[in-house]
């Protein structure tokens, strides 16, 4: 039996490694081309290597020399450059209006209410430094300012130095909340202390048949804010009614009743007792419309026989104060009212602050009230 040997897989390789002899011309040409190709190949490798090195050094932030010295330095990535913020457009500043309204300054100077002064300004009766004023004018008070009404120069010294003062007055029935009455009837201003350069301004009104707490102030802005419905300052009344009052009626008065000038209601109603058909209630309102308490009860068929205001905000009527008497409030209560309506606090007062506790001189007030009543009676008879 004959055995055949397997063909070696390297046989072709061995054949290819055999030296092939060629002509000298071919060998020289081949060697030159090979050298040229090797040079091109080496140049290309060096260029690629140099480019990769430049890229590496640019990324790492190292030089070639430093990289060779410290080849094991950790790779650090440079933080990205921060973007510059876009310029923010500056908000346009609105020009501030200098001075105060002319009607406010004249009201503080005791020349009338703001509405009265607005009517006077609209009629062209007011001049500022020789020029006829118009509604909406603002004025900065200084020593050289000259304001005239109907040609008469107004004293503005009191406006610059005026201290906010507040009086608590116990209004009796039969007095009118007006300065002048054509029929010569008594007014709430008749008994108040006299002022020079300013005047007392009534905070709200009470009708002729209503008695109780009435506030007066020398600050027109304070009076205006205390009266404005948006401030929602509480007014509490003690009312005596005649008629049958049941729970359903009280619920309707709390919920709201439609009157001629809109919906009205009591915030609180508290029974204070009584005999028979005469009952007393303490009721609270958030506004001061004309005869609002009486009209609310009358809408339910109930008659009001007595009505006394006993509180305005947190200021309660002093029990020791007689009817027709007044008492100036201290700085604490004045600042309470100012804070209640968003005004800055007052720093001065006309009262003697050295007294630790002030009490109303009831006897002196009663004598003054009696003397005024006697004079008023004699005046009416004549």
Q: Are 122 and 129 in contact (CB under 8 A)?
A: no
Q: Are 304 and 137 in contact (CB under 8 A)?
A: no
Cα–Cα distance measured from residue 224 to residue 94, given in angstroms and rounded to the nearest whole number = 27
Cα–Cα distance measured from residue 135 to residue 187, given in angstroms and rounded to the nearest whole number = 31
Query: Measured in whole angstroms, how far is the alpha carbon of residue 253 from the centre of its chain?
Result: 32
Of these residues, 129, 207, 261, 374, which one is catalytic?
207
Structure-token match 């006829």, residue found: 132
234 half-sphere exposure, CB direction, 13 A CA radius: 14
Q: Are 359 and 318 in contact (CB under 8 A)?
A: no
Q: What is the DSSP string of 276-321?
A: TTEEEEEEEESS--TTHHHHHHHTTT-EEEEEEEEEETTEEPPTTP
Which residues have CB under 8 Å from 235's CB, separation 6+?
204, 284, 285, 286, 287, 288, 309, 311, 312
Cα–Cα distance measured from residue 300 to residue 296, given in angstroms and rounded to the nearest whole number = 7
Residue 325 CB burial class (10 angstroms; 0-12, 13-18, ≥19): buried
6 half-sphere exposure, CB direction, 13 A CA radius: 3
Distance, first Cα to last Cα, the chain:
176
Cα–Cα distance measured from residue 193 to residue 365, given in angstroms and rounded to the nearest whole number = 12
Task: Determine whether 207 is an active site residue.
Answer: yes
Query: What are the residue numbers of the active site?
Result: 207
């Amino acid at each position: 039996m004959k055995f055949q040997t397997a063909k070696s897989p390297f046989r072709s390789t061995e054949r290819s490694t055999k030296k092939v002899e060629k002509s000298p011309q071919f060998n020289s040409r081949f060697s030159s081309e090979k050298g040229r190709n090797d040079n091109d190949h080496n140049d290309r490798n060096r260029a690629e290597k140099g480019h990769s090195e430049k890229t590496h050094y640019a990324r790492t932030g190292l030089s070639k020399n430093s990289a060779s010295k410290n080849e094991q330095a950790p790779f650090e990535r440079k933080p990205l450059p921060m973007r510059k913020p876009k310029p923010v457009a500056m908000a346009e500043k609105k020009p501030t209006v200098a001075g105060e309204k002319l009607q406010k300054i004249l009201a503080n100077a005791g020349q009338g209410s703001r509405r009265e002064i607005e009517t006077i300004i609209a009629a062209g009766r007011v001049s500022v430094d020789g020029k006829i004023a118009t509604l909406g004018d603002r004025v900065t008070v200084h020593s050289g300012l000259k304001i005239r009404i109907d040609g008469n120069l107004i004293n503005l010294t009191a406006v610059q130095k005026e201290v906010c003062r507040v009086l608590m007055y116990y209004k009796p029935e039969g007095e009118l909340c007006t300065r002048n009455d054509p029929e010569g009837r008594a007014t709430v201003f008749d008994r108040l202390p006299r002022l020079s350069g300013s005047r007392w301004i009534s905070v709200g009104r009470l009708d002729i048949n209503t008695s109780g707490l009435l506030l007066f102030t020398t600050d027109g802005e304070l009076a205006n804010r205390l009266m404005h419905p948006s401030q929602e300052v509480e007014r509490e009344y003690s009312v005596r009614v005649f008629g049958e009052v049941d729970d359903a009626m009280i619920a309707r008065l709390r919920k709201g009743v439609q009157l001629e000038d809109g919906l009205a209601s009591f915030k609180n109603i508290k029974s204070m007792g009584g005999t028979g058909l005469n009952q007393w209630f303490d009721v609270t309102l958030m506004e001061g419309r004309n005869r609002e308490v009486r009209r609310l009860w009358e809408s339910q068929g109930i008659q009001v026989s007595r009505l006394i205001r006993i509180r305005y905000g947190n200021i309660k009527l002093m029990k020791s104060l007689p009817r027709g008497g007044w008492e100036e409030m201290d700085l604490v209560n004045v600042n309470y009212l100012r804070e209640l309506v968003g005004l800055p606090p007052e720093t001065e007062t006309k009262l003697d602050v050295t007294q630790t506790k002030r009490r109303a001189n009831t006897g002196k007030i009663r004598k003054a009230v009696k003397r005024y009543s006697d004079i008023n009676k004699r005046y009416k008879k004549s």
